[in-house]
Amino acid sequence: MISSGPDLTPAPSADAFCWRDPDDDRPRLECGVFAVWNVEDASAVTALGLHALQHRGQEACGIASFDGMLFHTERHMGLVGDAFSGSNLVHRLPGRYAMGHTRYATAGASVLRNVQPMFADLDIGGIAIAHNGNLTNFRTLHRQLVAEGSIFQSTSDSEVILHLIARSRKGVMVDRFIDALSRIEGGYALIALTNGCLIGARDPLGIRPLVLGDLNGQPVLASETCALDTIGARFVRDVEHGEVVVISDKHTVQSLRPFPAGRARPCLFEYVYFSRPDSVVNGRSVYDVRKRMGANLARETGVVADVVVPVPDSGVPAALGYAQESGLPYELGIIRSHYMGRTFIQPTQSVRELGVRMKHSPNRAVLEGKRVVLIDDSIVRGTTSLKIVRMVREAGAREVHLRSASPPIMWPDFYGIDMPDRDHLLAACHTMAEMRARLEVDSLGFLSVGGLYDAMGAGRRDPINPQYTDHYFTGDYPTRLLDREIAEGRNEPVEQRELSLLVSA
């Protein structure tokens, strides 16, 4: 039987809980996954791939490797560069097979026991899994599995998948993996490393991204193409919605489609905010889409002004598009610091008031006396936007016109994006006039849903069968939300008889 190597990370301490600025209302990224098969120094290559995906999760990271006999795992709180630096990495995590994960908690607390990859020794061998996304029936499955005798070591929805694999009666690991997929709901990109193969899977709607690459003839799986570029791999194709790919020495890459084919609905927020601008997601350049979003924003919400200024870094491509379309000069009126660690600012109100100036500094030479069009990628609660507006005004701006390169965020997400409840979403609770007053701007504008679809090259939004997952703007959720329905009394939990059918094949 394959056994796990030691977990070299220390026991959780008080610092294991990542402190978050309560006044920072940026949408929280989900997670990033990466894996390589049969390459030299696989763990070091995986660390490089995870570093390229650091923007998708900055709370914790982990790597699992397989040396042909044993699995080895390391999981850490903090950044990839801090956790997996040093020349001894390939000695700590040996083997030609490895996978990794960067994490931001969307289900489960931010503690070491919830960090991925998660490993289990099963009766047919070891398996490590990593997951990007969120299961919308996690609490229902968790409650059912505990009632059946499962013992959980974490509060992460990813561990549910391990338990479903372990309890399946299928004889082959790939079949057990597919059996588990048939029981979960939501948006996900999954990778699993076993003693015989590497498995990748994407949810039936393709909400969360996953790509297949080639590194000197050997397969690579990653959340984004930017990770392939970092390690010098060639992009092969997207893993398609509902597809399971099995990578092994015997078959190289085998494609399985165990579920009925449906229409894909990728997440629009990958283009609005999450993905790195140098990535290509579902065949579209994120950078190009964001520039078109900015151009459409200028057409829809143009205003007489002197200068276009992005809120760095995610507002930069849209601001470029806005400036080019409007004919206004583009200037770096706000400079972002990339060196502020989370431990530098202490969670006291008096210091937090200065926090925005540590992340963003005004360029007075650009702002003073100007009518400024301020471009941001999105507005969630508005707390960060208000701080930046005040900072720009204090630097001497004569007028501030705030523009969002996405439509108003009206509804929370349940597929891997950590957004506030609807009661805390600015656009869901206030009229345009009220938002303008609260944000202290001279004018406020948002890109329309139609403008966003046009920037995607999708034409008009199909109201019956939307081309993308866009519920945060429209309220049109692409799947049922079982846990939420049960919590609100709109759906009764399954009976014990159905439970037995659910957790056993």
For residues 420, 421, 426, 431, the Cα torsion angle rounded to the nearest 10 degrees is 170
pTM attached to this predicted model: 0.88
Question: Residues 337-357: what's their mean pLDDT?
Answer: 53
* Parts of the chain belonging to CATH 3.60.20.10: 4-263
Output Rg (C-alpha) for the chain, integer angstroms.
23
Residue 14: the pLDDT is 29
Does 21 have pLDDT greater than 80?
no
Give the pLDDT confidence score for residue 401 in this predicted structure.
98
Of 343 and 439, the structure prediction assigns the larger pLDDT to 439
Predicted local distance difference test score (pLDDT) of residue 351: 52
Given a cut of 70, is residue 244 above it in pLDDT?
Answer: yes
The pLDDT of residue 16 is above 80: no
Output phi, psi for 425, to 5 deg: -90, 125
The length of the chain in residues reads: 505
| Domain ranges in the chain with CATH number 3.40.50.2020 | 280-337+345-474
- The pLDDT tens digits of the residues spanning 109-138 come to 557 888 999 999 999 999 999 999 999 999
CA-to-CA distance for 110 and 19, rounded, in angstroms? 9
At residue 252, the pLDDT reads 85
Instruction: Please count the helices (runs of H) and the strands (runs of E) in the chain.
Output: 20, 22
CATH code given to domain 4-263: 3.60.20.10
**What confidence score (pLDDT) does residue 19 get?**
36
- pLDDT average, residue stretch 389-396: 97
CATH number of 280-337+345-474: 3.40.50.2020
DSSP assigned state of 369: T
The catalytic site residues sit at 31
Q: For the ranges 31-40, 101-110, 143-152, 191-200, which has the lowest average pLDDT?
A: 101-110
Enumerate long-range contacts of 465-469, CB under 8 Å, 24 or more apart: 465/263, 466/265, 467/265, 468/265, 468/266, 468/267, 468/268, 469/187, 469/205, 469/207, 469/265, 469/266, 469/267, 469/268, 469/415
As a whole number, the mean pLDDT across the chain is 88
Q: Give the pLDDT score at 141.
A: 96
- Looking at residue 359, its pLDDT comes to 79
3-state secondary structure 137-163: CHHHHHHHHHHCCCCCCCCCHHHHHHH
Number of neighbours of residue 349 by Cβ within 10 angstroms: 8
User: What is the per-residue pLDDT for 281?
Assistant: 96
The better pLDDT of the pair 492, 99 is held by 99
Please give the average per-residue pLDDT across 413-434, as a whole number: 92
456 Cα distance to chain centroid:
19
Q: How many CB atoms lie within 10 A of CB 433?
A: 9
Give tens-digit pLDDT for 256-289. 999 988 899 999 999 999 999 999 999 999 999 9
Q: What confidence score (pLDDT) does residue 416 get?
A: 87
User: What pLDDT shows up at residue 347?
Assistant: 44
Say whether the peptide bond before residue 214 is cis (omega within 30 degrees of 0). no
pLDDT per residue over 60-117, tens digit each?
999 999 999 999 999 999 999 999 988 899 999 999 999 999 987 544 455 788 899 9
User: Quick check: 6 pLDDT over 80?
Assistant: no
Separation of alpha carbons 233 and 210, rounded Å: 15
Residue 397 pLDDT grade (very low, low, confident, very high; cuts 50, 70, 90): very high
Structure-token pair, residue 19: 């402190």
User: Which range in 12-21, 224-233, 357-366 is most confidently predicted, on average pLDDT?
Assistant: 224-233
Average pLDDT over residues 463-480: 96
Q: How far is CA 482 from the centre of its chain?
A: 21
User: Of 158, 51, 104, 181, which is closest to residue 419 (Cα–Cα)?
Assistant: 104
> What pLDDT does residue 26 have?
55
246 membership: H or E segment, kind and range: strand 244-248
Q: Which DSSP symbol is given to 361?
A: E
Looking at residue 426, its pLDDT comes to 97
Q: What is the pLDDT of residue 111?
A: 72
User: In this structure, how many other beta carbons lie within 10 angstroms of the beta carbon of residue 360?
Assistant: 18
Q: Which two tokens stand for residue 316?
A: 């930069």
Tokens 């914790």 — which residue?
60
